[in-house]
Amino acid sequence: MEIYVFDGSLEGLLTAIFDCYSRKSGPIKLVSSVHYHPDAFQSGYMVMTNSAKANRVWNGLKQKLNAQWMHAIYAGVLSEQPQTFQALIDFARYIIDHPNGASENYGNPSVLAVSQMERKVHREKHRMEAFIRFQETGDGIFYAHIEPDYNVLPLISRHFEKRYANQKWIIFDLKRKYGLYYDLDQVSEIGIEFTEQMSPAVNTLPAELRDPKEELYSLLWKDYFRNTNIPARKNMKLHIQHVPKRYWKYLSEKQP
């Protein structure tokens, strides 16, 4: 089985699909350059991302798939999961090689895998939108950092741009080392050099970077949460089901 190595992007995936057909390849194994380990006995074909090729494949898939499935392909790429990359290229080739309606065949392993991953990425997106808590910096920018399982920053950008349209904010992904910055006009991608004081374990800024009012706001919120909580109705099993423990680090009310 031939190995195709791509850059992990949507355009790279679509280029790999194009090359599969132009090179008349049989079954292939698709891996991202991050996960590729060269084999002395088998060289990989290096996919050179090409926008023209990618657009041709994307437009071809749009003729056979609805908007939800096109979004599922994008979400699959954002998952960054090696097994999903393989499922995506298998799915695309299955769709291209079969008549319209092939996407409804959930008995096909790649159709099912792409659909399931889309739901997982979508769930992570909604949880980030619900659990992200900002802190105001000394210069008036609201900041939050996250470590999502999947690369959901591109998916949550519009939500926060609409919800916090009147304030500058930064959401930074510590795992992927890039963030989004909204300057009251548009959202742009940024990088930040962090000091050792920045802890991924708790969604908080070092004291010297925070606005002095932030500590008071945090205490007021914790008091409100504590006073509105009814101990007799406490159901931790249900609570954890809706707010898994891995998201507690984002919530002010969960901090000591």
pLDDT tens-digit map of 129-160: 988 888 888 778 888 888 999 999 999 999 99
List the structure tokens of 86: 């393989």
- What's 202-254 look like in SS3? CCCCCHHHECCHHHHHHHHHHHHHHHHCCHHHCCHHHHHHHCCHHHHHHCHHH
More confident residue, 173 or 239: 173
How confident is the model at residue 226, as a pLDDT? 60
pLDDT at 3 over 80: yes
Domain ranges across the chain: 2-123, 132-254
Q: Which of 5-9, 102-106, 197-201 has the lowest mean pLDDT?
A: 197-201
> What is the pLDDT confidence band of residue 38, given thresholds at 50, 70 and 90?
confident
pLDDT tens-digit map of 55-112: 999 999 999 999 999 999 999 999 999 999 999 999 999 999 999 999 999 999 999 9
Please give the Cα distance from 7 to 22 (Å, whole number).
19
More confident residue, 185 or 207: 185
How confident is the model at residue 145, as a pLDDT? 86
Q: Which of 19-28, 116-125, 129-138 has the lowest mean pLDDT?
A: 129-138
pLDDT at 249 over 60: yes
Helix or strand (DSSP H, E) at 81: none
3-state secondary structure at position 3: strand
Please give the Cα distance from 8 to 137 (Å, whole number).
34
Please give the Cα distance from 117 to 160 (Å, whole number).
23
Please give the Cα distance from 142 to 163 (Å, whole number).
13
3-state secondary structure at position 79: helix
Average pLDDT over residues 198-222: 51
Please give the Cα distance from 151 to 9 (Å, whole number).
11
